[in-house]
Amino acid sequence: MLLLVGLGNPGREYAGNRHNIGFMTIEAIAREHRFAPFRARFKGRVAEGQIAGEKVILLQPETYMNDSGRSVREAAQFHKIARSDIVVFHDELDLAPGKLRVKVGGGDAGHNGLRSITAHMGKDYKRIRLGIGHPGDKAMVHAYVLNDFGKAEKAWVQSLCETIARNAALIVGGDDTGLQNKTHLAMTAAGFGDVKTLGGA
């Protein structure tokens, strides 16, 4: 059994924020693989289903980003899921828009959601880093991540989330390199292989 966690903030006002691309990815996976409807559990929204014959729990913590670890810990403890079977999708400032990278463990790079999960669970869980680009000035980061994707960005965001959802069997199978390669090829084929601009609001 795997626990796939998307990071974001709850509520309509945050739904389109760059910080919520983890939520968007989880919702795309639920649609693609026809998971049961989301319901309230573990201080979050949970949906259950199967991918490639494996039982999978999807989780969107609703504790706000800074306290995501409480929700992840409750879900993992209830289902007896090891850290090695937890996969967290999150926005990544240090990757170009539309890029995807997978890593296990490591630091939180200033991401409050990761910091909270590490505090509650330890650091040895898998992170799928979803590039949103950097505003270019550290002082602008807070406002940047808590603003909605611009109109020009929405096409690549949708393409990235749907590509991950279509290739979720690679996540279940632990094929990190395969997921990165498939995503790169799909995004390039869709015309998003080199997104240089972050788009306007």
pLDDT, one tens digit for every residue, the chain (201 residues): 999 999 999 999 999 999 999 999 999 999 999 999 999 999 999 999 999 999 999 999 999 999 999 999 999 999 999 999 999 999 999 999 999 999 999 989 889 999 999 999 999 999 999 999 999 999 999 999 999 999 999 999 999 999 999 999 999 999 999 999 999 999 999 999 776 544 433
Domain membership of residue 194 (yes or no) is no
Whether 30 maps to a domain, the answer reads yes
Contacts of 35 (CB under 8 A, 6+ apart): 29, 47, 48, 49, 56, 58
In this predicted structure, what is the pLDDT of residue 198?
Answer: 45
The per-residue pLDDT for 113 is: 97
Catalytic residue, chosen from 19, 33, 90, 111, is 19
19 belongs to the catalytic site: yes
Please tell me the predicted confidence (pLDDT) of residue 182: 96
Residue type present at position 173:
G
- Residue 200 forms part of a structural domain: no
CATH number at residue 65: 3.40.50.1470
Measured torsion, CA atoms of residues 167, 47, 54, 129, in degrees rounded to the nearest 10? 40
User: Cβ–Cβ contacts within 10 Å for residue 134, how many?
Assistant: 17
Please count the structural domains in the chain. 1
- Assess if residue 199 is contained within a domain: no
Enclosing domain of residue 15: 2-189
Residue at 195 is within a domain: no
Considering the domain boundaries, does residue 41 fall inside one?
yes
Q: Let me know if residue 196 belongs to a domain.
A: no
Note the pTM of the prediction, 2 decimals: 0.95
Classify burial at 163, counting beta carbons within 10 Å of its beta carbon; exposed 0-12, middle 13-18, buried 19 or more: buried
Q: Is 94 among the domain residues?
A: yes
